[in-house]
Structure 1
Amino acid sequence: MFALTTIIAGPDTQPRIERGTLHVIPVELRSNERLQRYCALAKPGWSVDDWGYNMLCRYLPSGERLIIPGLELTDGTRARRRFHGHGPKFTKVQVEDYASSIVEFAQQEARRIQSSLNALIHDLRSLSTTILHSNNEAKILLQRDIGEAEVRIGNVEAAQGILRMRIDAFDLLSNPNAITTSKYVPLFKKVDKVVRFFKSSAGAGKKRIFLSGSSHRYLHGPDVFELVPFSLIDNAVKYSPVGSVIRVDVTENDRTRITITSLGPRINKSEESQIFLNGVRGTQAIQTGLPGTGVGLHLTSKIVRDFFKGDVWVQQSQAASYFDSNEFFETTFTVDVPTHLN
């Protein structure tokens, strides 16, 4: 959504024009012919088209050009060809400030996506190493211990599953509009699958995961719900201390509720709703020095609230537990969603 009529022109893509909400240029100034003309004339900074209208061009981080055409400025010269109802509304500085705000927003989004991509690459490398080592161990063990080899093969499958879900999460974050279809999704099956994936990686860190409860009900929505327990359990494994327990519980009534309880860093009361916003991490979570982008909980919230019309929240006890002189608090994330009998 743009306040001023704006053209986005990429080096290898067809330019597209976005109509402004505050300032719409006349149809004569936004024909395909004029659009091509603007793209041919626009250079970084201010320029004037062949009809005497001002236009401002800035480069976005993507390499695309941001072009604001068809402007008559209150502190500029009048256009040679005029149209009824279209006259000066903004100063040059106002338009420049507006363009700068768009570029700054695009830069923030680019940094956020790059940060998520860096975290994904780090995880992919780690998971790739896990898959390789488990596969090699399984080959050796197949010759002498079938049972232990099956465990290693299970680790390979778990690592591959986590790898796929991390890629799915990044894909959904990058292109949320790609989801167009809905289906009935077995809730407990999705949760159980994620728990099994994480058990091997949690065990390597001397942390245990237990799943209790059950549900025979179905969610209705896009097939992305497993990213919800994935993000929450991923955080629980990351932030909980060595030797601790992570508990996942599923209960059902008219709705189905999932709780993930673990020990974690303090979440300030004022942060309990803020940590579900895009790019926001808790103060104590940042101070742990553990990597994070503030995207996982935002993605969880978006999936639960937008796609499945449910809710998600966090509660934390006030009593502290200590591991290696570090302070931890029992933390419970709750997901509550409407479900259906098959």
Structure 2
Amino acid sequence: MKLVPQLNSTGEIEDGSYIRALDFCQRNCNKGRCKTFYNSIMSAPLSSGFLTCPYGMSVYVSALEKQIYCSMRERETYNKKLSKNIADARKLYNPVLPAEQLYTLIQASQTITVGKKKLDEKQAVVDSISHEVKKLNGQIKEHSDLAISLLKADDDVTPSPENVAKVYEELRSIFLSSSMIASRYTLFDYEKNPDVLKGTIVETSIHKTFYKLAKIFRNYRKRNIPIILSGSTFRYIDAYDSFDLIPLLLIENAVKYSYYSSDVQITFSESSSSEVDVSIESYSPYCSKEDLTRIFEKGFRGKNASKVADGNGIGLFFVKKICDIHNIGITVESDNSRITPINSVAYAPFRIMLHFTKTYNVDHT
């Protein structure tokens, strides 16, 4: 809900609920003298303040928002003589107000607009997480039914080794889906309380945490994506419970976007100075330099990634948040020298690197 009329990105006027846009303004804002007037404002360095439009109405320019509010009557800039040529079929007579009162209305309108945008963003995240949880719950049911049917196939006798092995794989899949549901609820809780990423600090093995999650991701979504671990580190760190989400989300992301049957490579290296690097490399949709600069933005998805799989653009956003509270460096690369087009999608080696310094220290604040 907007209190004051304002120009949108297409040059049209969005009406206000308190100060109403005149019919003349709505019809002509994108034409002739009005269009020239507004274009001249936006093409020059913006300076906040009230102006007089070509037809005598008051306009407020917000340099911070890069926004124009219009169709008002501010005491000092409203020109009654010029505005006589404006006929309004609805007989609207907006009050002539001092700048302070109109500015207060504009600020209130800005607050409402920003608040609604944040609420819409949160709702979009909640809806997306809810959809994913339903899908994961369906996978748990599917794997459970299959495990039960495998055991029943042995007619109440000791299960055959072959069926035991199959049941074990189904249980592994159930555990993975359950872990992923738990991660979604953590992301959901973050929307209400960012401190949910903190909590109890425990001594954690970097290598074992990645190894455990890489193991249960085997045959995830039956995509036949081998996960290969190389190198090692014996480094332990003090970490919050949320640290487990880093390998979970990164491996899930790598498997989800990897080209069918290509490897996901997880490499560990530890220097003589006890600094540790972990890289997760996959053959995934190419990310341009522009995409890479935004890859940790909440809700952002790369152009090519959007062609390959559904997503909400919050996985890497949360990985970055968790890395920040653990003081872990994170960088991303997409190799533009090895791009291969496959089914109208550009693929290339995609690498995420984590860096643990010798003086690593979890953020206790």
Establish whether TM, by shorter chain, passes 0.5.
Answer: yes
**1:293 to 1:106, Cα distance in 2 relative to 1, 3 A:** farther
1:261 aligned to 2:281? yes
Counterpart of 1:209? 227
Alignment of 1:218-297 (within 5 A): 218-253=236-271, 254-286=274-306, 288=307, 290-297=309-316
Give the whole-Å Cα distance in 2 for the aligned partners of 1:211 and 1:300: 20
Counterpart of 1:151? 169
**Native 8 Å contact 2:266 2:280 kept in 1:** yes
| Alignment equivalent of 2:179, drawn from 161, 167, 171 | 161
TM-score, length-scaled by structure 2: 0.63
Give the whole-Å Cα distance in 2 for the aligned partners of 1:110 and 1:289: 28
In the TM superposition, what is the alpha-carbon distance from 1:235 to its structure 2 partner? 1.9
Counterpart of 2:147? 138
Give the whole-Å Cα distance in 2 for the aligned partners of 1:98 and 1:184: 49
**Over aligned residue pairs, what C-alpha RMSD do you find?**
2.7
**1:223 to 1:180, Cα distance in 2 relative to 1, 3 A:** closer
**Native 8 Å contact 1:185 1:220 kept in 2:** yes
In the TM superposition, what is the alpha-carbon distance from 1:329 to its structure 2 partner? 0.7
**1:215 to 1:170, Cα distance in 2 relative to 1, 3 A:** farther
Consecutive unaligned residues of structure 1, counting only runs of 5 or more, are 1-43, 47-73, 76-88
1:105 aligned to 2:110? no
**Native 8 Å contact 1:137 1:152 kept in 2:** yes
Alignment of 1:110-129 (within 5 A): 110-129=119-138
**1:126 to 1:274, Cα distance in 2 relative to 1, 3 A:** same
**1:278 to 1:324, Cα distance in 2 relative to 1, 3 A:** closer
For residues 255-308 of structure 1, give each alpha carbon's deviation from its aligned partner in whole angstroms, at most 9, with x where no partner exists: 22211111122211123222112222223323x163222222121111112x11
**Native 8 Å contact 2:199 2:241 kept in 1:** no
Query: Sequence identity, in percent?
Result: 22
**Native 8 Å contact 2:259 2:283 kept in 1:** yes
Give the whole-Å Cα distance in 2 for the aligned partners of 1:201 and 1:216: 27
Give the whole-Å Cα distance in 2 for the aligned partners of 1:99 and 1:221: 42
Give the whole-Å Cα distance in 1 for the aligned partners of 2:192 and 2:205: 26
In the TM superposition, what is the alpha-carbon distance from 1:322 to its structure 2 partner? 4.0
Q: Which amino acid aligns with 1:114?
A: Q
For residues 6-41 of structure 1, give each alpha carbon's deviation from its aligned partner in whole angstroms, at most 9, with x where no partner exists: xxxxxxxxxxxxxxxxxxxxxxxxxxxxxxxxxxxx
Q: Size of the alignment, in residue pairs? A: 255
For residues 110-137 of structure 1, give each alpha carbon's deviation from its aligned partner in whole angstroms, at most 9, with x where no partner exists: 2222222222122212211211121121
In the TM superposition, what is the alpha-carbon distance from 1:180 to its structure 2 partner? 4.8
1:299 aligned to 2:288? no
Q: Quick check: which has more Rg, 1 or 2?
A: 2
In the TM superposition, what is the alpha-carbon distance from 1:45 to its structure 2 partner? 7.4
In the TM superposition, what is the alpha-carbon distance from 1:340 to its structure 2 partner? 7.7
| Alignment equivalent of 2:101, drawn from 92, 97, 109 | 92
**Native 8 Å contact 1:313 1:334 kept in 2:** yes
Give the whole-Å Cα distance in 2 for the aligned partners of 1:128 and 1:199: 19
Counterpart of 2:94? none
Q: Which amino acid aligns with 1:260?
A: I
Give the whole-Å Cα distance in 2 for the aligned partners of 1:267 and 1:138: 40
1:315 aligned to 2:336? no
Give the whole-Å Cα distance in 2 for the aligned partners of 1:293 and 1:236: 15
Give the whole-Å Cα distance in 1 for the aligned partners of 2:291 and 2:264: 22
Give the whole-Å Cα distance in 2 for the aligned partners of 1:109 and 1:237: 31
Give the whole-Å Cα distance in 2 for the aligned partners of 1:194 and 1:166: 16
**Native 8 Å contact 2:288 2:334 kept in 1:** no
Q: The residue matched to 2:277 in structure 1 has which SS? A: strand
Give the whole-Å Cα distance in 2 for the aligned partners of 1:247 and 1:172: 30
Give the whole-Å Cα distance in 2 for the aligned partners of 1:149 and 1:159: 15
Give the whole-Å Cα distance in 2 for the aligned partners of 1:232 and 1:260: 8
Give the whole-Å Cα distance in 2 for the aligned partners of 1:199 and 1:102: 48
Counterpart of 1:331? 350
Counterpart of 1:194? 213
Consecutive unaligned residues of structure 2, counting only runs of 5 or more, are 1-16, 20-73, 76-97, 361-365
Counterpart of 1:60? none
Q: Which amino acid aligns with 2:277?
A: R
**Native 8 Å contact 1:169 1:227 kept in 2:** no
